[in-house]
């Protein structure tokens, strides 16, 4: 069981957590956002918390609320992971359009697609210089399901992969497209699919499609573009076994994330072990965490991942 954190994402920092809130820095801007699991005390003094540029408030305690802006946020508000750029915006559901903890998976996948030779791009260096080719100059085909605003898509496309980006939300795909333009990526580096992940994968199976890597970050509950419900515990087993069939003979990885579910990392791992038993490789699992300045870890979700 791994407690996984990213190594190189200096534009993001979890400054502190306590009393139901996170204090985060995204470039220079600092945010206070609620996180109900945070039942412990703050490490930093209240004066540090009071410097936040924006605070999310939700009187009902629900996900939806409003941001109180104390200091104007940059516009556009761009953060970088190595040389990959993302545009942030405050959403009425307390989000910024990027899940910083995913940087740990990005670093892991970048290492896998280069057979461990990939050097994590330090800020200002070039991720795109490293080919995604696996030593044979083969462009790797990656499937990103529940792909949202394209954090993972941008990192892998910038590393030279051809990414199929699937999400059921039109606004999320529009935002991902903006990130794609921001990164000056070739038009054919990403295939945009507005669809239900389960249906799309079934269609790809019928077409005999193959992928060299698959990542998915499904919500606990979701909806297809036609309103069909996605339920993590009910729908993940079928989706995962279909995805295993989509892996090419030379596939490098399959990553499954979970957040806000009532599942555990162990449960996810047991499922992945069953689904991928026909393939040789290594499986690891754990919690995807953010490390705050004091060293304390904040769990943001669970993962299980296979690599060759
Ligand atoms: C929180 S996001 C995942 C975050 C993303 N992996 C990242 O790090 O940027 C979950 C996404 O799942 C999408 N979604 C929900 N149900 C879906 C479905 N049935 N098929 C495809 N996408 C779905 C939502 O639109 C949302 O963008």
Closest CA to 273 of 254, 260, 288: 254
Q: Class assignment of domain 9-79?
A: mainly beta
Angstrom distance (rounded) from CA 8 to CA 91: 25
**Burial code of 53-88, b = ≥16 C-beta within 10 A, e = fewer?**
bbbbeeeeeeeebebeeeeebeeebebbbbbbbbbb
Supply the DSSP symbol for 73: P
Closest residue CA from atom 25 of ligand 1: 169
| Cβ atoms of 125 and 217 closer than 8 Å | no
Closest residue CA from atom 4 of ligand 1: 148
Angstrom distance (rounded) from CA 88 to CA 282: 35
Which phi and psi angles does 11 have, rounded to 5°?
-75, -15
* Domain boundary assignment for the chain: 9-79, 100-307
Closest residue CA from atom 16 of ligand 1: 222
Cα 156 to chain centroid distance, Å, stands at 12
CATH topology of domain 100-307: Rossmann fold (3.40.50)
Q: Cβ < 6 Å from ligand 1: which residues?
A: 99, 102, 146-149, 151-152, 166-169, 172, 196-197, 217, 219, 222-224, 230
Asked if domains 9-79 and 100-307 share a fold, the reply is no
Angstrom distance (rounded) from CA 73 to CA 102: 23
Q: pTM for this structure?
A: 0.94
Q: What tokens were used for 285?
A: 């699992």
pLDDT in tens, the chain (308 residues): 999 999 999 999 999 999 999 999 999 999 999 999 999 999 999 999 999 999 999 877 667 889 999 999 999 999 999 999 999 999 988 999 999 999 999 999 999 998 766 655 544 444 444 456 566 678 999 999 999 999 999 999 999 999 999 999 999 999 999 999 999 999 999 999 999 999 999 999 999 999 999 999 999 999 999 999 999 999 999 999 999 999 999 999 999 999 888 899 999 999 999 999 999 999 999 999 999 999 999 999 999 999 99
Closest residue CA from atom 15 of ligand 1: 222
Closest CA to 180 of 163, 200, 201, 168: 163
| Cβ atoms of 210 and 247 closer than 8 Å | yes
Q: Which residue has the tokens 């609320």?
A: 65
Going from the Cα of 211 to the center of ligand 1, the distance in angstroms, rounded, reads 19
| Cβ atoms of 192 and 176 closer than 8 Å | yes
């Amino acid at each position: 069981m791994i407690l996984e954190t990213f190594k190189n994402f200096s534009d993001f920092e979890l400054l502190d957590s306590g009393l139901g809130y996170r204090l985060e820095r995204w470039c220079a801007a600092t945010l206070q956002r609620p996180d109900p699991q945070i039942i412990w005390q703050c490490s930093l003094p209240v004066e540090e918390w009071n410097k936040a540029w924006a605070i999310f408030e939700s009187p009902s305690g629900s996900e939806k609320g409003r941001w109180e802006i104390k200091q104007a946020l940059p516009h556009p508000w761009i953060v970088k992971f190595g040389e990959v750029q993302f545009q942030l915006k405050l959403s009425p559901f307390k989000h910024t359009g990027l899940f910083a903890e995913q940087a740990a998976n990005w670093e892991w996948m970048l290492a896998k697609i280069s057979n461990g030779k990939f050097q994590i791009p330090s800020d200002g260096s070039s991720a795109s210089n490293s080919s995604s080719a696996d030593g044979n100059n083969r462009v790797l085909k990656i499937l990103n399901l529940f792909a949202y605003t394209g954090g993972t898509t941008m990192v892998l496309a910038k590393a030279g992969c051809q990414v199929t980006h699937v999400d059921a939300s039109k606004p999320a795909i529009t935002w991902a497209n903006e990130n794609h333009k921001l990164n000056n990526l070739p038009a054919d580096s990403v295939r945009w699919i507005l669809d239900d992940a389960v249906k799309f994968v079934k269609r790809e199976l019928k077409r005999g499609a193959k992928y060299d890597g698959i990542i998915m970050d499904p919500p606990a509950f979701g909806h297809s573009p036609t309103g069909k419900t996605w339920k993590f515990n009910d729908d993940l087993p079928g989706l995962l076994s279909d995805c295993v069939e989509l892996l090419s003979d030379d596939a490098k990885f399959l990553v499954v994330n979970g957040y806000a579910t009532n599942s555990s990392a162990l449960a996810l791992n047991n499922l992945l072990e069953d689904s991928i038993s026909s393939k040789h490789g290594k499986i690891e699992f754990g919690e995807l965490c953010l490390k705050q300045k004091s060293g304390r870890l904040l769990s943001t979700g669970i993962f299980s991942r296979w690599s060759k």
